[in-house]
């Protein structure tokens, strides 16, 4: 496996916008409506703001919520990074990045976490902590954390309105009664700003602490379910857990990334044909940066 | 190798696009003309326009051609294109009686004022494959279906608006229809494309959602209601009419209403005592439910009217309402673009979420040990401090 | 309309020194559009709950009473008399059409709980009230453990230590004679009597000031009823919890309640000390009710 230099993506398509289409695809009225929803979401951390979700040339369930946020925000001078499962080169991430490039030619795209102004992601938060001048846009398939205990939207909205989360807590209690521990893996529910229970999107538990009292703004978009919510900077994000059964993150023991040797990043398993398993970083920029530094002797 | 685990996604995607664009794609001269698609596959074009929520026959034909006949994809493309168009305003309300009718039938009465007009329908034909066409050359003996000019094929409205009174108006005049219009009168209709649905939704919102719904999904739920899974019962078609409706807007300068075009639509008014169950003003009154879809898509319009009926009725039985009576069930699951998108997103990689669960399982199996304090070597020393503020 | 006051003296004097934990004033609930005639044209004199003008159903109207700490009041009447509707309005399952209610623990009893915002209303329900429904499936999730059902109340009150929650739940369930060994079992596996006892354990979990009991023994066999009522008497003796007991069964009311309201067609027709009502009923309807059972 070779490490590649991951500087800004080629600019051959950036000459002009897609003929017949508006800048950044959406019409300006729609973008403004989305930005209004974003402002409301920031004002009410963790509250799911209903919005008039538009159809995009990417299918529903493939990141249209996050993409609408990104398209509504980008403009000249922005640098966009798109990842899926932590990887810039994942096909869906590439496809979304290409749409940004084709419709917003004055926006730069990058794979570097450090230089991006907007990072759109599916299922991961970059390992490298983000700064206050960066925005993380998370794609959300199912924005309603209470859906597991209540299938009716009218009822879950009432529950949020009244901060009536006891059924959610009972589900966690029952989990412990039945399994002896908390078994929720990805998308672990958290209380935002002491008020709204939120799903952080299906990021691993590993990533959840990165949202707590962070420097950066996190925006969550669910296109199919038509909800936008936000965790502003320096806002508490507390995983739902018990004093005697605390929240834990994934444990990798003494495993290390087979490519860069990292023992401090979220690892994904890569099975070999004989059933043995190798591990590698899921955050490709993290991994390649380390390899790069090792090769240049700056580690 | 895995489709994301290594770099090269951009290359893979480029190759996939090449495959779409090259081997099977017909050459310029082999391409079916858009006009041919409009004329020979009008049902596909109408379905795509209805579900795409955009009346644009030529664009719909383009979409059908571009996606090689995948009508889910075609409707989706039309909807996506619609997102790029600014919303300038709303047309004025139109009455079904303003339709230039090419077909209109009623199941409630043998004869109706204005008469039944069977028009162009496959309903009473025998669905036999015309095997002779297998051997006949495309341009040989016998005209291929639908290739005749539209007017001859009976698709051009020959009637003037107003020639056919609405059966519902006739029933109203007979005094057998509920005069109250429960749930029907609202200030301004909601627009679910600008505001997401908030339950319980108004009737205007569910009618809009159903009009954009996927035809097969509507048929499924309407059918479940007819078979006794709740629903508004069997219903009877007071009137089904197909034809061209005027599109009228307020002139921005004069403020006068002005008709700027016409569009083909199917309208169904469904009646039944078991329809809307609101308090009736006089005993035995019949309720009315409504379906209106772009183009000629009769099974969708009928299904829409059936679901309008079941959504108007309040479920009074034990337990949760059956699917067809449940607003959230019907409206959240009949949008084709949303449902197919989410179903097919399962093709996306999920190894992070899967891996997170796998680690839990390995920990539980004792393969890995879990410490409640989290990994001390995590990049962020206090990253596990989730309980603190 | 008149309310026969069997003991005007007691009403004013016996509990003068203690402030009521619950005060209900003119609680009214109308199902349907409602009209100015609704209350006037329904009730025991009209012998109907349905307004002839607009067809609305006046489930209960002008229900007023006070409840002192640790005391129990009964509401009796046939089905359709409005007693369950009144109870469900107090618990917050239904919004009243008009009327007021005050709880001593909510803003010193000076703010109408029906005017509380939804979040406060939820807290009142979770922290200060308990409810036992006639049908256990309304009060319990039959598919989560009985311990989990009790825990729901504790979790709502922000208990965040599993061991402490389990101790408290085990204590309450044991108190209601549910073996601790079965606390992780789902109530769907339990008998009707056991399910009702789990409901009581849940209702008592947060030490409420008032517990509302809606026909809690009506669905049970007579032999089982006796056991549940015995337990409720124990609870009355040992806990400082006031109760409102809704029942169509005069026997239940006589056993548990010092004071009783008699309701018919959505109105209170008689109110007073239970024993006096049973011995010397004033209102014709109460007389009929008492004479129809062999007490």
* Range scoring the smallest mean pLDDT among A100-114, A125-139, C231-245: C231-245
Q: Which of B344, B356, B364 sits opposite A250 (nearest CB)?
A: B356
Residue extents of the structural domains in chain B: 27-82, 96-119+146-334
A vs B: CB pairs below 8 A: 233
Catalytic site residue A66? Answer: no
Confidence at residue B138, expressed as pLDDT on a 0 to 100 scale: 57
Confidence at residue A86, expressed as pLDDT on a 0 to 100 scale: 95
Q: Model pTM?
A: 0.80
A279 plus A209 within the same structural domain: no
ipTM, two decimals = 0.83
A136 plus A265 within the same structural domain: no
Confidence at residue C15, expressed as pLDDT on a 0 to 100 scale: 42
Nearest to A39 by CA among A233, A237, A226, A219: A219
A128 plus A255 within the same structural domain: no
Q: What is the pLDDT of residues A235-287, one digit of tens each?
A: 999 999 999 999 999 999 899 999 999 999 999 988 888 888 899 999 999 99
Cα-Cα-Cα-Cα torsion B138, B144, B145, B151, nearest 10 degrees, comes to 130
Task: Please determine, for residue A229, whether its predicted confidence score (pLDDT) is greater than 50.
Answer: yes
Confidence at residue B23, expressed as pLDDT on a 0 to 100 scale: 58
Nearest to A120 by CA among A62, A39, A187, A204: A62
Query: Which residue, among C144, C167, C198, C205, would best test binding to A if mutated, counting the most A CBs under 10 Å from its CB?
Result: C144
CB pair distance less than 8 Å for C184 and A244: no
A94 plus A230 within the same structural domain: yes
A86 plus A124 within the same structural domain: yes
User: Strand A277-281 and strand A267-271: pairing?
Assistant: antiparallel
Residue A35 CB coordination number (10 Å): 13
- Residue A67's domain spans which residues? 12-144+189-239
Mean pLDDT of A126-133: 97
Q: How far is CA C283 from the centre of its chain?
A: 23
Q: Which residues of chain A have a CB within 8 Å of the CB of B51?
A: none
Chains with ≥3 CB–CB distances under 8 Å to A: B, C
**Distance (Å) from the C-alpha of residue B375 to the closest C-alpha of chain A?**
6
What mean pLDDT is reported for chain A?
A: 91
A287 plus A205 within the same structural domain: no
Calpha distance A140→A121 (Å, rounded):
9
- pLDDT-based confidence at residue C239 (cuts at 50, 70, 90): confident
What mean pLDDT is reported for chain C?
A: 89
Mean pLDDT of C61-77: 94
Query: Which residue, among B2, B13, B84, B361, would best test binding to A if mutated, counting the most A CBs under 10 Å from its CB?
Result: B84
Annotated active-site residue in A86, A187, A221, A281: A281
Q: Residues 6 or more apart from B295 whose CB is under 8 A from it?
A: B42, B43, B45, B46, B47, B49, B50, B264, B265, B266
A26 plus A124 within the same structural domain: yes
* Helix or strand run (H / E) with residue A138: strand A135-139
- Positions of chain B with pLDDT lower than 50, given as ranges: 1-6, 141-153, 182-184, 274-283, 370-389
Mean pLDDT of A227-242: 98
Angle at B123 between CA B121 and CA B124, to 5 degrees: 105
Q: Which of B194, B370, B383 sits opposite A209 (nearest CB)?
A: B383
Q: What CATH number should be reported for the domain holding residue A117?
A: 3.40.50.11310
Catalytic site residue A275? Answer: no
A130 plus A261 within the same structural domain: no
Residue A39 CB coordination number (10 Å): 10
* Total tally of structural domains belonging to chain A: 2
Annotated active-site residue in A61, A253, A287, A297: A287
Confidence at residue A255, expressed as pLDDT on a 0 to 100 scale: 92
Q: Residues 6 or more apart from B268 whose CB is under 8 A from it?
A: B237, B239, B240, B290, B291, B292, B298, B301, B302, B304, B305
- pLDDT-based confidence at residue A169 (cuts at 50, 70, 90): very high
Catalytic site residue A194? Answer: no
Q: Which domains does chain C have, with CATH numbers?
A: 4-104+209-291 (3.40.50.300)
Helical residues (DSSP H) of A74-201, grouped into ranges: 91-103, 153-161, 166-179
Catalytic site residue A257? Answer: yes
Mean pLDDT of A186-202: 97
- pLDDT-based confidence at residue C10 (cuts at 50, 70, 90): very low
Confidence at residue B240, expressed as pLDDT on a 0 to 100 scale: 96
Look at residue A257 and tell me if it is in a domain.
Answer: yes
A123 plus A207 within the same structural domain: yes
A198 plus A272 within the same structural domain: no
Angle at B138 between CA B135 and CA B139, to 5 degrees: 125
Look at residue A181 and tell me if it is in a domain.
Answer: no
């Amino acid at each position: 496996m070779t490490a590649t230099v991951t500087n800004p993506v080629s600019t051959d398509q950036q000459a002009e916008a897609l003929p017949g289409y508006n800048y950044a695809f959406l019409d300006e009225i729609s973008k403004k409506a989305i930005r209004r929803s974003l402002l409301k979401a920031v004002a009410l951390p963790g509250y799911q703001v209903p919005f008039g979700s538009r159809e995009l040339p990417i299918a529903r369930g493939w990141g249209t919520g996050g993409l609408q946020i990104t398209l509504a925000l980008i403009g000249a001078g922005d640098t966009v990074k798109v990842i899926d499962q932590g990887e810039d080169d994942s096909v869906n991430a590439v496809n979304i990045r290409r749409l940004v490039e084709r419709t917003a030619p004055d926006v730069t795209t990058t794979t570097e976490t450090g230089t991006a102004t907007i990072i759109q992601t599916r299922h991961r938060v970059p390992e490298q902590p983000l700064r206050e001048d960066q925005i993380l846009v998370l794609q959300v398939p199912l924005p309603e954390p209470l859906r597991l205990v209540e299938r009716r939207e009218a009822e879950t909205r009432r529950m949020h309105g009244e901060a009536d989360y006891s059924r959610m807590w009972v589900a966690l209690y029952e989990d412990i009664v039945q399994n002896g521990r908390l078994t929720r893996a990805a998308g672990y529910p958290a209380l935002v700003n002491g008020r709204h229970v939120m799903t952080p999107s299906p990021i691993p538990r590993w990533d959840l602490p990165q949202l707590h009292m962070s420097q950066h703004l996190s925006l969550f978009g669910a296109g199919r379910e038509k909800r936008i919510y936000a965790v502003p900077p320096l806002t508490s994000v507390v995983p739902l857990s018990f004093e005697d059964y605390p929240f834990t993150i994934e444990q990798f023991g003494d495993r290390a990334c087979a490519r860069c040797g990292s023992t401090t990043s979220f690892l994904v398993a890569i099975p070999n044909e004989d059933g043995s398993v190798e591990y590698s970083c899921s955050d490709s920029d993290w991994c390649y940066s380390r390899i790069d530094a090792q090769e240049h002797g700056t580690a | 190798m895995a489709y994301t685990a290594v770099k090269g996604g951009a290359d893979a995607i480029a190759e996939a696009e090449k495959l779409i664009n090259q081997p099977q794609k017909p050459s310029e001269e082999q391409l079916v003309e858009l006009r041919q698609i409009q004329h020979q596959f009008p049902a596909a074009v109408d379905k795509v326009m209805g579900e795409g929520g955009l009346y644009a026959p030529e664009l719909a034909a383009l979409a059908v051609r571009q996606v090689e006949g995948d009508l889910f994809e075609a409707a989706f493309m039309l909807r996506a294109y619609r997102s790029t168009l600014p919303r300038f305003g709303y047309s004025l309300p139109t009455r079904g009686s303003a339709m230039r009718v090419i077909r209109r039938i009623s199941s409630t009465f043998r004869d109706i004022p204005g008469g039944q007009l069977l028009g162009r329908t496959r309903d009473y034909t025998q669905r036999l494959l015309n095997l002779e066409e297998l051997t006949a050359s495309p341009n040989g003996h016998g005209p291929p279906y639908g290739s005749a000019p539209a007017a001859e094929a009976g698709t051009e409205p020959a009637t003037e608006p107003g020639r056919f009174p609405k059966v519902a108006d006739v029933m109203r005049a007979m005094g057998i229809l509920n005069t109250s219009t429960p749930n029907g009168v609202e200030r301004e209709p909601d627009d679910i494309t600008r505001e997401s649905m908030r339950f319980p939704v108004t009737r205007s919102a569910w009618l809009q959602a159903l009009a954009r719904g996927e035809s097969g999904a509507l048929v499924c739920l309407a059918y479940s209601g007819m078979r006794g899974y709740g629903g508004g019962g069997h219903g009877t078609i007071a009137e089904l009419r197909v034809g061209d409706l005027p599109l009228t807007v307020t002139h921005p300068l004069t403020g006068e209403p002005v008709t700027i075009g016409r569009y083909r639509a199917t309208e169904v008014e469904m009646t039944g005592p078991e329809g809307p169950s609101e308090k009736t003003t006089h005993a035995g009154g019949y309720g009315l439910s409504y379906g209106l879809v772009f183009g000629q898509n009769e099974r969708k319009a009928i299904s829409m009217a059936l679901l309008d009926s079941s959504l108007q009725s309040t479920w009074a039985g034990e337990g949760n309402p059956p699917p067809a009576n449940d607003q959230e069930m019907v409206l959240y699951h009949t949008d084709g673009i949303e449902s197919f998108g989410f179903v097919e997103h399962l093709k996306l990689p999920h190894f992070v979420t899967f891996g997170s669960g796998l680690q839990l399982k390995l920990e539980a199996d004792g393969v890995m040990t879990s410490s409640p304090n989290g990994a001390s070597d995590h990049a962020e020393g206090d990253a596990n401090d989730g309980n603190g503020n | 309309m008149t309310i026969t006051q069997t003991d005007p003296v007691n009403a004013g004097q016996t509990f003068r020194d203690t402030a009521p934990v619950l005060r209900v004033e003119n609680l009214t609930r109308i199902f349907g559009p409602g009209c100015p005639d609704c209350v006037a044209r329904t009730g025991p004199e009209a012998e109907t709950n349905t307004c002839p003008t607009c067809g609305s159903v006046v489930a209960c109207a002008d229900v007023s009473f006070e409840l002192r700490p640790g005391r129990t009041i009964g509401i009796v009447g046939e089905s359709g008399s409005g007693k369950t509707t009144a109870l469900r309005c107090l618990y917050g399952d239904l919004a009243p059409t008009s009327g007021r209610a005050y709880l001593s623990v909510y803003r010193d009893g000076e703010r109408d709980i029906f005017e509380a915002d939804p979040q406060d209303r939820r807290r009142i329900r979770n922290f200060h009230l308990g409810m036992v429904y006639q049908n256990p499936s309304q009060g319990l999730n039959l598919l989560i453990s009985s311990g989990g059902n009790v825990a729901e109340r504790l979790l709502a009150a922000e208990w965040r230590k599993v061991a402490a929650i389990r101790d408290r739940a085990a204590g309450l369930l044991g108190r209601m004679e549910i073996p601790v060994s079965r606390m992780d079992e789902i109530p769907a596996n339990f008998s009707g009597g056991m399910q009702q006892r789990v409901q009581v354990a849940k209702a008592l979990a947060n030490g409420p000031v008032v517990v509302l009991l809606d026909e809690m023994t009506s669905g049970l066999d007579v032999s089982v009823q006796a056991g549940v009522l015995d337990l409720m008497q124990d609870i009355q003796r040992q806990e400082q919890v006031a109760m409102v007991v809704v029942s169509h069964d005069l026997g239940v009311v006589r056993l548990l309640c010092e004071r009783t309201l008699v309701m018919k067609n959505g109105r209170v027709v008689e109110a007073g000390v239970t024993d006096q009502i049973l011995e010397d009923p004033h209102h014709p309807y109460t007389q009929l009710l008492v004479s129809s059972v062999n007490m």
